[in-house]
Structure 1
């Protein structure tokens, strides 16, 4: 009863997308698949955002999209239409409901709410011990992330994109519902890379996030004080209702997570290093990697063969080296980029779709000295 061909640990973005990909591929019709998560996934615990041309695979559950972004720094202010891109937002509760409903209707995928406490592997199978049972699988895909996976090494810096966000509702219309504030650096930096991020759902409702790129978290009250001050200073608003709260931390590192993979255990999602190192954006990065993983599984190829390193990995590594060395001036890099380039070019580069000529244009928009120093340090 407790033996499976594949066990997926974690029903977040990577776990659900992998389960759905298996559900949609006839290769897995005869396979017995288990999806484990300690939670029922019935709360709106996070927000995923991404940019995209036209309609994509998540269109049925997109909660809101925008055609313009706002970027602000010390000496740059841009409000720009981003066509042909749209900036899109997914609510996690809609994501969970959509994919879990498909799994519930399937005949070969079982979703069980239980907490994993231990994983053991031998030559023929993997034993996954939970609080209530022991499940055995031929292969395990684990999305459970722990920062210790990356911090036990010194070759690559490990920063965090950490944030606290409030969804607020105001009495008066104070937001521009057609425009995302992608990055607003016009706030005290306090020795770190800090910015505000605003997703307006309507002219009186918005998600406002205080976000940092740094190596350590702040006390909870410091995030909340910053949000309160921003609402007051930017929107001159003192009275509002806090509808929802969210918080998170996403690893920013060029560390190669493949050394944690074994013959029968493959880490996926953030735990597999699928978050883009320079931005922390994970959903679309994961969506692009799932088909590659499915192909490896079908071919019987060792799962370690799925490589993540390319020229963009190298660019991201240098960027994080620069941030690690001088985190307080991170805003200067972003301001220089957005001052020189159209957001469409920035998005194309971050999507890893630029050619070498376009790469050089993007690189030339960055401050030269810190990146040259980082490159020389890596080389010598």
Structure 2
């Protein structure tokens, strides 16, 4: 293929994940990019329900029509206590992956300037005046590239910033008995055996007999699939469930790190999503952070500029530093996760905690949350990080 046959686009998105789809959807909504040619590349056709996203919010968002379930109450549990958390003015929401994909693709399929191709990206090469993208089938060029294909080696081959994984296996089960409270999500249940890690159950009940149950760890190393599933079976027995049907399964591993992914950005290439550090490092929550970052990116791209540089997009804030301290502790003492989160939720104001995790608190509110945590651990981590 010679260069005259290589198709050129204004923007190319490599990877049709949450960040890319949110950004393109909002580009369409803004009305400012109808004259820009956009190519979206992914080896996956996005036709299956491969994941569940959950997030809390106060006001209705543009995603309200695809929220499959909402909760006004949450439960926090460890081996010593249970606490019911009234979430208002927040609601905890669940979105199924396939509903999200269908919603976004229905919108963008009507845009003549947007092309989605089922092709695996094999090569990205930035040149002075454009970016070259190769797939197994074709070659393309663009003015600017947004990459959401995560490269594990960037974060995991260095030692300056700790890297944990939020890894999980989830079963959506239908029980013969009515044992779930469909009005309350189990946010974290640390009553399961910790085995030297930070391990908890996460339960999203959709009816009295149906729920998504995820066995989740914040730790460095993954387990075998059998280990996750055995713990889910034990938990179901503890809930008094003996007869049930597994409707769907999901599994995942989300990197939790304060590694500065933004330093990989260049003049014409911006890493987004997990590849760009859009995942909330201390919790692994992705949906809400990506929602915010994608809005910021669309606004950034919409400002007329003769010298647009992708390196100018990211701005580090103090919450990045808070996350770094927690990850430093959990990396060194993974068994302390239950006690840290328990100290936070035992007496802390749930509304303030969620506001803090949304990175919307002021400094005074930050300290109100942080002072609920074990002080000595965080002071030690602070000195370690400052003098590293």
- Length-normalised TM-score, structure 1: 0.97
Q: Which residue of 2 aligns with 1:282?
A: 286
Q: Which residue of 2 aligns with 1:237?
A: 241
The yes-or-no answer on 1:56 pairing with 2:55 is no
Moved more, 169-178 or 205-214: 169-178
Deviation readout 1:38-57 (Å, 9 max, x if unpaired)? 11101000000000113112
Q: Which residue of 1 aligns with 2:341?
A: 334
The yes-or-no answer on 1:177 pairing with 2:182 is yes
Where does structure 2 lack aligned partners over 5 or more consecutive residues?
Answer: 1-5
Q: Which residue of 1 aligns with 2:365?
A: 358
What is the rounded CA distance, in whole Å, between the counterparts of 1:313 and 1:160 in structure 2? 17
Determine if contact 1:296/1:303 at 8 Å carries over to the other structure. no
Q: Which residue of 1 aligns with 2:302?
A: 298
Determine if contact 1:23/1:29 at 8 Å carries over to the other structure. yes
Deviation readout 1:97-141 (Å, 9 max, x if unpaired)? 000011111110011111111111211111111111111111110
1:250 to 249, 254, 260: 254
What is the rounded CA distance, in whole Å, between the counterparts of 2:316 and 2:79 in structure 1? 34
Shift of 1:58: 0.9
What is the rounded CA distance, in whole Å, between the counterparts of 2:63 and 2:31 in structure 1? 22
Q: Which residue of 1 aligns with 2:131?
A: 126
Alignment map for 1:104-143 (pairs within 5 Å): 104-143=109-148
- 288 and 66 in structure 1: CA distance in 2 versus 1, 3 angstrom threshold: same
What is the rounded CA distance, in whole Å, between the counterparts of 2:302 and 2:355 in structure 1? 31
Where does structure 1 lack aligned partners over 5 or more consecutive residues?
Answer: none
Q: Which residue of 2 aligns with 1:21?
A: 26
What is the rounded CA distance, in whole Å, between the counterparts of 2:353 and 2:66 in structure 1? 26
Alignment map for 1:1-380 (pairs within 5 Å): 2-233=7-238, 235-299=239-303, 300=305, 301-380=308-387
What is the rounded CA distance, in whole Å, between the counterparts of 1:32 and 1:219 in structure 2? 44
SS at match of 1:247: strand
SS at match of 1:169: strand
Moved more, 334-343 or 304-313: 304-313
- How many equivalent pairs are there? 379
What is the rounded CA distance, in whole Å, between the counterparts of 2:214 and 2:327 in structure 1? 22
Deviation readout 1:195-237 (Å, 9 max, x if unpaired)? 000000111110000000001101111000000000001x111
SS at match of 1:238: coil
- Length-normalised TM-score, structure 2: 0.95
Determine if contact 1:69/1:182 at 8 Å carries over to the other structure. yes
Shift of 1:25: 2.7
What is the rounded CA distance, in whole Å, between the counterparts of 2:251 and 2:144 in structure 1? 32
What is the rounded CA distance, in whole Å, between the counterparts of 1:306 and 1:289 in structure 2? 10
Shift of 1:271: 0.4
